[in-house]
Amino acid sequence: MTETPDSTFRQELNRRRTFAIISHPDAGKTTITEKLLLFGGAISMAGAVRARRGKSAASDFIAIEKQRGISVSTSVMSFEYGDYAVNLLDTPGHEDFSEDTYRVLTAVDSALMVIDSAKGVEARTLKLMEVCRLRDTPVMSFCNKFDRESLDPFELMDHIEKHLRMTCVPMTWPIGMGREFQGVYDLASREVIFYQPADKGRKNATIALSPDDPALDDEVGAKAADKLREDLALIEGAAAPFDRKAFLAGRQTPVFFGSAINNFGVQELLDCFVKHAPGPQPRETTTRVVEPEETPFTGFVFKIQANLDPSHRDRMAFVRITSGEYKRGMKLRHVRTGRDVGVNNATTFLARDRTITEQAFPGDIIGLHNHGSIRIGDAFTEGEALKFTGIPSFAPEIFRRARLMDPMKSKSLLKGLEQLAEEGAAQLFRPLFGQDYLLGALGLLQFDVIQSRLENEYNVRALFEQVPYQAARWVKSDDEAALDRFVEQNRDRMYRDLSDTLTFVANTEWAINYAADQNPKLRFLKTMEIA
Ligand code: G4P
């Protein structure tokens, strides 16, 4: 049968897998990313991703990243694995992170959760999972570092179930741990895969053996063999079987055990992932649901990265394609401004380098160059006036007041802050009464980024002063009188954000909760759709 353009489109659509890795810092995200890229043939040498932690790396775009040897902004890595085209959206894994980290999760169809098996589910993972919950994103789990002393695997699964309200389905099961880690049992193929500590990045040799085989005792020792048989009996009796529907609905998470640094257990994970993780999913808009199979191109911006070339104020808008096919040179409508633009130089993100895109499909991410005209949440279509929903803004947790070093430059400061806030670098709040603008962020590093960008791009030197605030909520109500009363009572705590939404800041979370208790007619919002 000859292939029609339509069947090519469908094939391309169906083989897309777009996901992100969520984890607490140090759980092993960088290590796993590197192994995934190795399997995908996207890098040929272990250490290429880790090099990012050194002083320079391909995906470090902006000066501050290089300075600190970390990747501040989320980037995209695309690679082929078997028949699949995989897009891995990276989330910053260090202590400081920003709304980008959260928003990237709105652009994926599934997520991979990496857990340090000695620690279980940690704080950052919990927070990121909250965002996955908003859209019931399917999640696969990898319990890493089994070559070290770990929590008991049953305990680990309990921990995940309790904290993340998902049923765990073991896909592999560890034999021993730490020095006595011997391998995993693959519950699907009913084989034992032996662990052989490998040089970083080298693929492990594996031997298959059924657990019923008496030879298992010889291979792993009678004690470990008996323990495995016992564990398996327990699992067969108690654990739910894998149910793809439940996984796709975000109710079940398949769990793998291994050691990323030794490249053990990662390939089983990747194989299961490409097979079962969902392809491009529909996306909601204010008017209708956009299905990925629709022919007209649609997409939304989930991230802006600036300063690719500081002298040009060059910015890259990351667009997640939600339907249709992108072809180089096509005209796209920038819905918010109503302008039609010819797109000749969209970028894709092959893990090796960035290239100009000829073609891209739903699930892919393309980068559009611009000079500040594109904002987070913007839609691109072939004419339809769509507005995508579900791209959240999060109430900041750290606040600073910007103080100008050179009083002649207050206009430039405000312009710089406004533009950087529009890009999503931090949030800007204008006081209802008074002069001092407030900046809010989720990670401390965001202030450093803003400070250095103000200097480099806007030629403004500013200092960021500590303020006593630690919490904020957007405040809404249908009862205007109640809202006015609240504003009057809290004059020095009331601000408006860039979208003009009323915002209340407080010294503690407790004060916010108290205000909410005292003002039942008001809604205090911690997350809000980008307007
Ligand atoms: P992150 O991106 O989630 O922050 O974690 P990353 O991969 O950087 O891993 C954090 C540390 O844990 C690294 O050690 C890494 O080598 C180690 N690690 C990752 N996977 C495993 C594993 O399966 N077993 C063991 N034992 N360790 C693992 P580091 O000392 O911080 O860095 P490095 O000296 O290895 O570069």
Distance (Å, whole) CA 487 – CA 480: 10
Residues of the chain with pLDDT > 70, as a percent, come to 87
Q: CATH 3.30.70.3280 region(s) of the chain?
A: 395-529
417 three-class SS: helix
CATH 3.40.190.10 is right for the domain spanning 21-71+112-276: no
Beta carbon of 122 within 6 Å of any ligand 1 atom: no
pLDDT recorded at residue 292: 97
Pick the CATH number of 283-381 from 3.30.830.10, 3.40.720.10, 3.40.50.300, 3.10.620.30: 3.40.50.300
Contact 413, 477 (CB under 8 A): no
Q: How far is the CA of 30 from the centre of ligand 1 (A)?
A: 8
pTM of the model: 0.85
Beta carbon of 283 within 6 Å of any ligand 1 atom: no
Take atom 36 of ligand 1 and give the residue whose Cα is closest: 50
Pairing assessment for the beta strands 359-360 and 326-327 based on DSSP bridges: antiparallel
pLDDT recorded at residue 312: 61
Beta carbon of 145 within 6 Å of any ligand 1 atom: yes
Take atom 29 of ligand 1 and give the residue whose Cα is closest: 26
Quickly state the pLDDT bin for 456 (edges 50, 70, 90).
Answer: confident
Beta carbon of 27 within 6 Å of any ligand 1 atom: yes
246 three-class SS: helix
Beta carbon of 174 within 6 Å of any ligand 1 atom: no
Place of tokens 């769990």: 255
Helix axes of 266-276 and 29-39: crossing angle, nearest 10 degrees:
70
Superfamily name with CATH number, domain 395-529: Peptide chain release factor 3, domain III (3.30.70.3280)
Q: Which of 30, 31, 90, 112 to mutate to test the pocket of ligand 1 (most atoms within 8 A of CB)?
A: 31
Judge whether residue 527 has pLDDT over 90.
no
Beta carbon of 124 within 6 Å of any ligand 1 atom: no
Beta carbon of 147 within 6 Å of any ligand 1 atom: yes
CA-wise closest residue to 104 among 125, 82, 79, 75 = 75
Q: How far is the CA of 145 from the centre of ligand 1 (A)?
A: 8
pLDDT recorded at residue 1: 47
Q: CATH 3.40.50.300 region(s) of the chain?
A: 21-71+112-276, 283-381
pLDDT recorded at residue 60: 37
Q: How far is the CA of 32 from the centre of ligand 1 (A)?
A: 9
Q: How far is the CA of 13 from the centre of ligand 1 (A)?
A: 34
Q: How far is the CA of 149 from the centre of ligand 1 (A)?
A: 14
Take atom 16 of ligand 1 and give the residue whose Cα is closest: 261
Q: Which of 21, 22, 23, 26 to mutate to test the pocket of ligand 1 (most atoms within 8 A of CB)?
A: 26
Judge whether residue 65 has pLDDT over 90.
no
Beta carbon of 28 within 6 Å of any ligand 1 atom: yes
Indicate which atom in ligand 1 lies nearest the CA of residue 262.
23
Indicate which atom in ligand 1 lies nearest the CA of residue 33.
7
Q: How far is the CA of 260 from the centre of ligand 1 (A)?
A: 8
Q: How far is the CA of 94 from the centre of ligand 1 (A)?
A: 13
Distance (Å, whole) CA 85 – CA 43: 15
Burial of residue 405 (CB within 10 Å: 0-12, 13-18, 19+) is exposed
Beta carbon of 29 within 6 Å of any ligand 1 atom: yes
Quickly state the pLDDT bin for 199 (edges 50, 70, 90).
Answer: low
Beta carbon of 26 within 6 Å of any ligand 1 atom: yes
Judge whether residue 160 has pLDDT over 70.
yes
Distance (Å, whole) CA 173 – CA 69: 36
Judge whether residue 90 has pLDDT over 90.
no
Beta carbon of 301 within 6 Å of any ligand 1 atom: no
Distance (Å, whole) CA 121 – CA 509: 23
Quickly state the pLDDT bin for 307 (edges 50, 70, 90).
Answer: low
Q: How far is the CA of 128 from the centre of ligand 1 (A)?
A: 20
Take atom 22 of ligand 1 and give the residue whose Cα is closest: 145
Q: What is the mean pLDDT of residues 27-47?
A: 76
Q: What is the dihedral of CA 466, 467, 473, 475, to 10 degrees?
A: -140
Q: How far is the CA of 137 from the centre of ligand 1 (A)?
A: 26
CA-wise closest residue to 379 among 412, 335, 344 = 335
Identify which has the larger pLDDT, 406 or 511.
511
Quickly state the pLDDT bin for 68 (edges 50, 70, 90).
Answer: very low
Quick one: residue 265, left, alpha or beta (phi over 0 = left, psi -120 to 50 = alpha)? left
Identify which has the larger pLDDT, 43 or 235.
235
Summarised one tens digit per residue, pLDDT across range 361-387 is: 999 999 998 887 898 899 999 999 999
Beta carbon of 117 within 6 Å of any ligand 1 atom: no
Indicate which atom in ligand 1 lies nearest the CA of residue 32.
7
pLDDT recorded at residue 242: 94
Mean pLDDT of the chain: 86
Beta carbon of 144 within 6 Å of any ligand 1 atom: yes
Contact 171, 272 (CB under 8 A): yes
Distance (Å, whole) CA 81 – CA 478: 52
Take atom 24 of ligand 1 and give the residue whose Cα is closest: 145
